Amino acid sequence: MRVLRRLAPHLVAGTLILALAVHFGFTLLYLAPANAVGLRARPIVNRYMEPYFRQNWSLFAPDPLVDTRHLLVSCRVSDGRGGTRDTEWADITTPLREKRAVYRVGPSAPLERTQMGPLHMILAPGDRLVERLARRKDAEAQFASLLAEYESERARAAERGHRLLRRVASAACDRILGAGATSAVAMRMRVTESPPFSHRSDPLSTSASRYVEFPWGPYERVTLF
Amino acid sequence: MSSTDPSAPSPRPTVVASIAGAWSRLLGFASRPHFLTGASVFRIVAGLAFLYQLLVVYAQRRYLFGPDGVYPYDLFLDQLDAGSFSLYALSRSLVGFEVLYHATIALAVAWLVGWRTRLTTPLLWIAIWSLRERNPFLWDGGDNVMQLALIFACFAQVGGRFSFDATRRELAGAGPMSPLAAMAHNAGVLACAMQICLVYGVAGLLKVQGESWQNGTALYYALRGGEFTWPGYSEWIFENGPLLALLSYSTVAFQVSFTFLLFLGRRLRVAAVLAGLSFHIGIIVFMSLTTFGAFMMAVDLMFVTDAEYAALGRRVAGVRRRVASLATDLVRRVPRPALRRIRHRA
């Protein structure tokens, strides 16, 4: 017992140092760009790090977004004669941004994230390394299963994004037209490129916009606030 | 060993002895708690940010996290990774949701005031993790940092100062922290330091590769893009070319150098903390990334030593005394009749 008490500080200190070294060794491998050691260890590293130590520090890196995105919705409602009509596009992002410009703290930021999050998810750029593999001539044979898994994961993520957008749009339609009036929703994203740095004094309204269309989908009932 | 035969010249025992000496010095250092005040400041700043985060969407909580909220329940269950969990998966009822959400607020308050932090720190981690999994679209790097820091904080003593725990210990006449508890605390703080170094280091090195960070225009695009612009104010920065380049480059310089500043000397460490604080205040004010900035500042504030906090406290107390004596002086100089008139009016 006395021996144990004397050894305890040594054992505890040794264990803590070892734990720190192992944990941050894994973290370093997890965060490092693809390299010879990292690639081989990737499955083990991921199993240790995910989900609880998952992390991503590409904060505004390598480059910040150069465009401004707005989400627009259209609601399909009954026209009262047994048919349907589609409402005009309604911009549901601008009201949140206008509020945020005045009240710097408040719920506008998280509410905006429910709109921007799914958009980023649908339009996420592909993994550079995997796409380089896919371009190789022998890609099909060597990495077929890996590429298939990657593609299906991307497709699933995009599907989740579309589902979420439909729910955001459904809630927006309920707020505009009253709950339950809508049978289907459509979304489009307006993308406005920021003027280049040399024209930084130009207002955003002088920049050209393009639209990304998302197909009509069924209305889903969502709790409003 | 060598004491039995002091005449035998052998380099070995000296190497062993110096390693043993270093080890015992390390043990001695690690057996006393360091950065106790910093850990408590971390708790208070992060606790306030958690509370803000929970209360600012209080009216929208059912839309954001509720059973029929914007993130569909079936997708939420599907997405819970094999190894993950969320308390919100236990029940689909609205009552269950409300109980959990309000319990999370209560926990955040208990943690903020330092009530039983040994228990409330892991509980808060569970509650916040559960909420995060319930709607994974709402979070940013700040939430990511806190998710990790809360795990490390379970080892640390975050209720050492300015807390109910500290008052209770004082009243009970508790002695200093046991060496083993101190080691765990120090390891927790060190883990937070290593993590934040990785955050800044990786973020900085990724920026170095970006063209806009290289040519000093990145901040223009960050401030111009929809989510982070502040109409009427962002222009102050991004229309001023030299200022913009200076801020863009110093962002990268700060992030890349943070690790070295933190570990290579006292003055550099304080400089790193001060730079981090001003950096994140700028982010809060201009980009309205409120909780991101607050969570990052909470971790940065951990790395001020107890002696430095004590010195800061003395300085603040000194300034307060001087202001107080100046005020009494001023009151004394007011002629009596005037003073009487003021009192009469009050």
| Whether A133 contacts A148, CB under 8 Å | no
CA distance A146 to chain B (A): 20
> What is the separation of C-alpha B236 from the centre of its chain, rounded to a whole number of angstroms?
29
Chain B contacts of A59, Cβ < 8 Å? 141, 203
pLDDT of residue A141: 67
* Amino acid of residue A213: E
Chain B contacts of A107, Cβ < 8 Å? 56-57, 59-60
**Residue A125 zone, left/alpha/beta (φ > 0; ψ -120 to 50; rest):** beta
Give the start-end residues of each E strand in chain B: none
Cβ of A18 under 8 Å from any chain B Cβ?
A: no
Nearest CA in chain A to B290: A105
pLDDT in tens, B153-198: 999 999 999 999 999 999 999 888 999 999 999 999 999 999 999 9
CB contact burial A211-224 (16+ within 10 A = b; e otherwise):
eeebeebebbebbb
pLDDT in tens, B312-330: 999 999 999 999 999 988 8
Longest dimension (CA), chain A: 90
Chain B contacts of A111, Cβ < 8 Å? 57, 60, 64
Chain B contacts of A102, Cβ < 8 Å? none
Q: How far apart are CA A193 and CA A204, in angstroms?
A: 8
Distances (CA, A) of B201 to B204, B208, B211, B259: 5, 11, 18, 7
pLDDT of residue B168: 95
pLDDT in tens, B257-297: 999 999 999 999 999 999 999 999 999 999 999 999 999 99
Chains A, B: CB contacts within 8 A come to 196
Nearest CA in chain B to A58: B203
Cβ of A101 under 8 Å from any chain B Cβ?
A: yes
Which residue, among A121, A224, A102, has the nearest Cα to A165 in the 3D structure?
A: A121
Q: How far apart are CA A165 and CA A170, in angstroms?
A: 8
Q: At residue A81, does pLDDT exceed 70? A: yes
| Whether B103 contacts B126, CB under 8 Å | no
Per-chain mean pLDDT for chain A: 90
Average of per-residue pLDDT across A167-196: 94
CB contact burial B214-249 (16+ within 10 A = b; e otherwise):
bebbbbbbbbbbbbbbbeeebeebbeeeeebbebbb
Chain B contacts of A169, Cβ < 8 Å? none
pLDDT in tens, A125-149: 777 777 777 777 665 666 777 788 8
Cβ of A66 under 8 Å from any chain B Cβ?
A: yes
Q: At residue B132, does pLDDT exceed 90? A: yes
Angle ∠(B172,B177,B179) on CA atoms, nearest 5:
150
Which residue, among B278, B304, B303, has the nearest Cα to B293 in the 3D structure?
A: B278
Nearest CA in chain B to A171: B70
